[in-house]
Amino acid sequence: MKRLNLLLLLSICFSLISYGQFKQTPLPYDYKALEPYIDSTTMYIHFNFHHAAYTNNLNKALEKYPELYKKDVTELFKNLNELPTDIQTAVRNNGGGYYNHSLFWTMMAPAGSTKMSAKLEKALTASFGSVDAFKTAFENAAMTRFGSGWAWLVKEPSGKLTIYSTANQDNPFMPDSKVKGTPVLALDVWEHAYYLKYQNKRAAYVKAFWSVVNWAEVEKQMGM
């Protein structure tokens, strides 16, 4: 009985400590669900070590300002320059890493499980000339990002769709982003996202990504 009480007390303490902190949402599929395009070892390491580290480091950085745990993380990005100066870099890098990966996981689904709707095809064709032209431009953004970063399809406040890329863990919510808006498709082009399977062949990874894009989620993010 005493031991049970102690366990109960400990679990209450832990839940109080972690209350309100940012948390990783579990992956919506198995680690192996995106094979052969994205291998299960990469998914496991990427989610449990890289994404987990960004999440933990964001929470650690906000310890002095616990009221910020209650904010939507995208609000922290939008107001980055108004945050206490000692956490701005951590919110940019670790907050960016936390949010960007959370979005990225939902942007993928097992190959063949979703299909681009006629409505989305029409929107992409209207913006880029054709779906193929859209894909080529997106691949180009992913390939020309020097070093680590992300490729994005962004819905700007005007509704305009724009392809864009950012360095490191930056994203289109941040005040110094040249293109601002809501990301509706995201691709991680850090080497940790593809090195085990593709080594230096980023182009092969970027091409493979099309097989596992969750088109239903892209539409949802676009508000269609």
Q: How far is the CB of 190 from Mn ion (least distance, A)?
A: 5
**Least spacing, CB of residue 123 vs Mn ion, in Å:** 27
170 near Mn ion (CB under 5 A): no
DSSP string, 36-75: TTS-HHHHHHIIIIIIHHHHHHHHHHTTT-GGGGGS-HHH
Measured CA to CA, the distance from residue 208 to residue 204 in angstroms comes to 6
Contact 199, 96 (CB under 8 A): no
- Of 16-24, 80-88, 170-178, 182-190, the segment contacting Mn ion by CB under 5 A is 182-190
Q: Specify the stretch interacting with Mn ion by CB under 5 A; choose among 5-13, 144-152, 153-161, 186-194.
A: 186-194
Beta bridge partners of 213: 108
Instruction: Check binding of 150 to Mn ion (CB under 5 A).
Output: no
Residues composing the chain:
224
- Which stretch in 13-21, 22-30, 150-158, 189-197 sits in contact with Mn ion by CB under 5 A? 189-197
68 vs 101, beta carbon nearer Mn ion = 101
Task: Give the pair of three-digit tokens for residue 153.
Answer: 């399809």
Contacting residues toward Mn ion, per CB under 5 A: 188, 190, 193
